Amino acid sequence: MNEMAALRQMTKSAVVDYQQLSGLLSRYGKSRDKVQRPLASENIVRVKKGLYVFGDLHRRAPVGRELLANLIYGPSYVSLDYALSYHGLTPERVEAVTSITTGRSRKFQTPFGVFFYRGASEKRYATGAVIEHVHGVSFLIASPEKSLVDKVWADKRFSGTRLSDFGPCLTEDLRRERYDLLSPDATRLAGSGKAYDSPKIRLLLRYLSSLRENSDAWCNSRHAQPIRLPDCR
């Protein structure tokens, strides 16, 4: 077994920081400055200063960019356009990974793609993220409700000063059919809205509530039977 294969067996994760990597190399009598050798041979790949991923030959699965987003800059959770796409709230595949952070807004260009971070207050950051588990890897991402709230709040092109503004915003800009917006979890949506305490977000919640009320009435009518809408009672 070669040295890098042996090093890979010492850790479950394909992602390691500088301290972890130096510790692994020290077992083979390598000083910290010897990190440059596996970098040069592409046995490890530098994501950013201090954060590394084992090279292709030593990976057991593709590297999850959601986990990388959490580690590149933090504290942060994946949200906005990428999370909307992840949850199926937009049909397009989003290439750049977008996140919310309590730090300042940042952009990182890496071998694994572009990572954007949008700054938010601690209060707005603290509510609405969930832990997802994919292929044995855990990462922090906004719930569908929080990703929608984050997106509407962060979109400076959209003022959202009138209730009637939200129909075009949600069905055209996000390219969603109107009734697809009726399924958010009311408790999680209310929690995210309360954290923002923003007139625009309060109007968003009012708009979604009005859609749900209209849908409930429509679903209960005799003429609605052939149509299946989300969460119709």
Averaged over successive runs of 10 residues, the pLDDT of the chain (233 residues) comes to 66 82 71 68 87 81 91 97 90 91 97 97 95 92 94 91 88 61 76 90 89 60 36 27
Give start and end residues of each alpha helix (H) in the chain. Answer: 3-9, 18-26, 36-40, 65-72, 80-86, 122-125, 144-154, 166-168, 186-196, 199-219
Going by C-alpha positions, the residue among 79, 90, 89 that lies closest to residue 126 is 79
Going by C-alpha positions, the residue among 150, 154, 152 that lies closest to residue 142 is 150
- Domain extent at residue 38: 3-58
Q: Average per-residue pLDDT in the chain? A: 82
pLDDT at residue 21, rounded to an integer: 80
78: in domain: yes
Q: How many domains, in total, are found in the chain?
A: 2
131: in domain: yes
Residues 50 and 194: their CA atoms lie apart, in Å, by 37
CB 59 within 8 A of CB 43: no
233: in domain: no
163: in domain: yes
- The phi, psi pair for 60, rounded to 5°, reads -95, -15
Number of helices followed by number of strands (H, E) in the chain: 10, 9
Q: Which domain CATH number covers 54? A: 1.10.10
**Is 17 in the same domain as 109?**
no
Question: Which three-class secondary structure state does DSSP give residue 15?
Answer: strand
Distances in Å between the Cα of 56 and the Cα atoms of 6, 45, 214 are 15, 9, 52
- Express each pLDDT in 126-137 by its tens digit: 999 999 999 888
How much is the pTM?
0.82
Residues 28 and 46: their CA atoms lie apart, in Å, by 21
